[in-house]
Structure 1
Amino acid sequence: MMIHGLYKTINQQIVLEDIHFTLTQNEIVGLIGRNGSGKTSLFRLLAGYYLPDSGDIQINQQSIYQEPTIKEQIFFIDEKENFLNTYSLKKINAFYRLNYQNFDQDLFLQLTHQYDLSLQLNYRQLSKGMQGLFQMILAICSNATYLLLDEPFDGLDVIVRKQVIGLLLEHLSEKNRTALIASHNLSELEGLIDRALLLKDNKINKEYCLENMRETAKKIQLVFKTKKIPVIVKENSKLINFQGRVITVVFEHYTPELADQIKAYDPLVFEELPLSLEDLFEANLNAPQKKILDRSISNG
């Protein structure tokens, strides 16, 4: 799936601007951003629920807007505008069988039976956890190539969350499918995804390949002899935390040469700490880092 220059305004407000990225088969991608950053709007565009003001979404070089049948390769349940609420699981099943020609009914019946989901139940009768599990079953059984999952683990207890994640991982790997997941639980997301897309200021601000991130990015705790922070640190890092003269920063492009330059200032503390996806999120989405750092040190 190729996303080219998506631009969307709602009520004369820019919601998404110049969105470019690619989803390839057999990967799980995380979409992270603050509340109101446009994650759900992006999902609605990708699913064809919204029309963009400009830009295009292509699968196998065909536009989903010019070839509507291609949308069958995309699965998305809009939880905020969920039409499923008023129907029984049996009727919901019938709807998805009509809309996805390759819907795996045998697997659907197997999984609903396995998890004691009676098809006679109304969707509203299910607990939050069972609703999430049922949605994941629908996503898997749709056999869509691209699964758009907006907060799929939200509100699930530990046991159901493990079941949902297990189902996802098992059935994605079997058929070279792709999932784009938006989640506030970054520690959980980090254990699942291959890449992370950071949505900020209406744009995809950063893209991280987690394998590369672990090789090139470092989280360092520093204390210098004076309150003055070396320019080399300010220009190459993003602030995570400060307390007194102790600063914790992230270097996204850390090199031995950079380390030597910092060590030349003879810091009292120079300690590498474990780096998480949450650290990158915090470093990139906080208020302007250098201004905070300058102010905190000058007032320290």
Structure 2
Amino acid sequence: MIINDLSKTINQKPVLKNLSFQLAPSEIVGLIGRNGSGKTTLFRLIAEHYLPDAGDIQVNGRSIFTDKHQKQAIFFIDEKENFLRAYSLQRILGFYQKAYIDFDENLFLQLIQQYQFRLSSLYRQLSKGNQRLVQIILAICSNATYLLLDEPFDGLDVIVKKEVIGLMMEHLGEHRSALIASHNLNELENLIDRALLLKDHTIFKDYHLEEMRQHARKIQMVFKTKKVPLVVKEQSKLLSFQGRVITAIFESYSEELEQAIKHFEPLLYEELPLSLEDLFEANLKPKPHRLQKEVSL
């Protein structure tokens, strides 16, 4: 899937602007951004619930806006505009069999029985956790190539969350991809191959996590004065500045950079575990006024 130069304005406010990325087969990608950054709008554009003001989305080299057959490759349930609520699981099965020509009815019935659902049950009467579980079952059984999952772990207890994650990982397979938006970064980090950071209406960063772990470091430092060495300011993203204790992320860490910093004879120089949450904070969290002032010294 190729998203190219996508833009969308809603109520005269830009939500997405010149947004581009590709989603490769068998990838699990996290879509990360602050509240209101446009994650759900992006999903709605890919699912063609919205039309873009500019740009294109292509599947198999064809635009989804001109070749409607390509919609078979995309699965998305819009939680805020969820039409499923009024229907039984039996009726929902019928809808999705018509929507997806490769829908796997046998697997659907098997999973419904495995998780002890009744086909006569109304979707709206299920717990929030079971509604999420049904959504994942529908996504899997659709046999769509690209699954768009918007906060699939939101509000789930530990047991149901493990069921949802296990089911998803078991059935994704080699030729299917998932784009997952979630505020639960700890859960997301254990699942994804890439992280797309959404900021200022576009994709601000595209991290391949294995590559990031090889080249990036989170370092805690204390220098003799509060003045931050220029090499640290220029080469890092500062996470925090408390007293003289600096915590920073270096995305392109090297022995040469380490030696350049140690030239200033830090009183403390310690590597800490680097998490997806750290990358979120370093890129998306506004810097406190005090931190901005002290870093400029």
Q: Shorter-chain TM-score: what band?
A: over 0.9
Residue of structure 1 equivalent to 2:148: 148
The sequence identity of aligned pairs, in percent, is 65
Distance 1:213 1:292 in 2: 29
Q: Deviations over 1:196-255 (max 9, x none)?
A: 000001010000000000001100000000111101101111111222110111111111
- For 1:234-284, what per-residue CA distance to the aligned partner results, in whole angstroms no more than 9, with x for missing partners? 111111122211011111111111111000000000000000000000000
* 1:91–1:166 Cα change, 3 Å: same
**Which residue matches 1:74?**
74
Which whole-Å deviations, capped at 9, do the CAs of 1:34-84 have from their partners, x for residues lacking one? 000000000000111110001000011100001011101100000011111
Matched, 1:259 2:287: no
In 1, are the aligned partners of 2:30 and 2:182 still within 8 Å (CA)?
yes
Question: What CA distance in whole angstroms lies between the structure 2 residues aligned with 1:255 and 1:14?
Answer: 39
| Counterpart secondary structure, 1:271 | strand
The equivalent residue for 2:181 is 182
- Name the residue aligned to 2:283: 284
TM-score of the superposed pair, with normalisation by structure 1: 0.97
Determine the structure 1 residue equivalent to 2:113: 113
Report the 3-state secondary structure (helix = DSSP H, G, I; strand = E; otherwise coil) of the residue aligned with 1:235.
Answer: helix
CA contact (8 A) 1:30 1:180 kept: yes
Q: Which residue of 2 aligns with 1:295?
A: 293
Moved more, 242-251 or 127-136: 242-251
Deviation (angstroms), 1:288: 4.5
TM-score of the pair, normalised by structure 2: 0.98
Give the deviation of 1:19 after TM superposition: 0.7
Task: Give the aligned residue type for 2:99.
Answer: N
How many angstroms does 1:292 deviate by?
Answer: 4.9
1:227–1:298 CA contact under 8 A, matched in 2? no
Point out where structure 2 has 5 or more consecutive residues left out of the alignment.
Answer: none
Instruction: Tell me, yes or no, if structure 1 residue 21 matches structure 2 residue 21.
Output: yes
Task: Tell me, yes or no, if the aligned pair for 2:240 and 2:291 is still in contact at 8 Å.
Answer: no
Give 3-state SS (helix, strand or coil) of 2:107's partner: helix
Query: Which residue of the partner structure matches residue 230 of structure 2?
Result: 231
**Superposition CA RMSD, Å:** 1.3
Number of matched residues?
297
Q: Which stretch shows the higher mean deviation, 81-90 or 141-150?
A: 81-90
Is the 1:85–1:123 contact (alpha carbons within 8 Å) kept by the matching residues of 2? yes
Deviations along 1:124-182, one digit per CA (max 9) or x if unpaired, are 11001100000000000000000000000111111111111111111112x52000000
User: Are 1:242 and 2:241 counterparts?
Assistant: yes
Aligned to 2:270: 271
Q: Is the 8 A contact 1:245 1:297 kept in 2?
A: no
Q: Distance in 2 between matches of 1:35 and 1:206?
A: 17
Using the TM superposition, give the Cα deviation of residue 297 of structure 1 relative to its aligned residue in structure 2, in angstroms.
5.9
Cross-structure match for 2:62: 62
